Homo-oligomer: A and B are copies of this chain.
């Protein structure tokens, strides 16, 4: 039972793209000590300074998680699932916020996955393996599937990376024959087109969402917090599997967003994680969209 006298306003935020209604869904936040080597190609002093300039403590790393649900004429589409019920304290709030927006997991018609990291796929199942979005088709990037479901790639991976290969098997194994794979540049659902966004992972896809004269892009993890990595587009994050490709992808997509003055949604920007990109002399500024009541 939610106590209206003390509860925070629910973590969803609606906006429109043409005839689609888009709902940003907060899946929580974690804060920990900023790891040494969070940005492998910048000094600790430079990184701390960038954190301070962004209004954050120098030595703490806060990561937020925001997925999207889109109400389309063909049903509700969910892009990425959050961490589910197996993540650290303070996470896994996606389904509660979805419910606050009037949508139950069984109402979701399609789940689209941008890439196979645990904060994007973890919510597909409960911890015990029970599927969560029981009426949904599952669509994933073909190159992401090809990489993470390849046993030879798993064997070749370092110990640290093996965990994510295992998670992919736990989550996708039971539904492998039902998963639909999409290619970059494919309009895999009416109005939804996959955009090449590899680097962070080998098959990551941004999703271009278009309806009538409205257009936006879910840019997934082309940056961790854009207050750091859009402002410093040449900085790598320790989570990026191919740092050079990550940076090429980041600049291509941010350039496009700035040129088209197109709304973007990040997975790791401060909630509601949606806004616009402006190019500056040295990088890019993420400008949160105005919160509106309707």
Task: Using CB atoms and an 8 Å cutoff, list the residues of chain A in contact with chain B.
Answer: 3-14, 26, 28-29, 52-56, 62, 64, 90, 93, 100-103, 227, 270-272, 275-276, 278, 285, 287-294
How near does chain B come to A65, taking the closest CB pair, in angstroms?
11
How near does chain B come to A103, taking the closest CB pair, in angstroms?
8
Known: A8-B13, A13-B9, A293-B11. A54 touches B287 (CB 8 A): yes
Instruction: Provide 26 A-B residue pairs closer than 8 Å at the C-beta atoms, listed in order of the A residue.
Output: A5-B101, A6-B102, A7-B102, A8-B14, A8-B292, A8-B293, A8-B294, A9-B9, A9-B11, A9-B12, A9-B13, A9-B14, A11-B291, A28-B293, A29-B290, A29-B292, A54-B287, A55-B275, A55-B278, A55-B289, A62-B290, A90-B293, A227-B287, A270-B288, A271-B291, A288-B288
Copies of this chain present: 2
Cα–Cα, bound, A4→B14 (Å) = 12
Cα–Cα, bound, A1→B214 (Å) = 30
Q: Do B287 and A9 have beta carbons less than 8 Å apart?
A: no
Residues of B near A288 (CB, < 8 A) are 270, 288
Known: A5-B102, A55-B276, A62-B290. 4 other contacts (CB 8 A): A4-B101, A26-B293, A54-B287, A93-B293
Q: Do A291 and B270 have beta carbons less than 8 Å apart?
A: yes
- Closest CB pairs A-B (n = 9): A55-B287, A5-B102, A271-B291, A4-B102, A55-B276, A270-B290, A9-B10, A9-B12, A8-B14
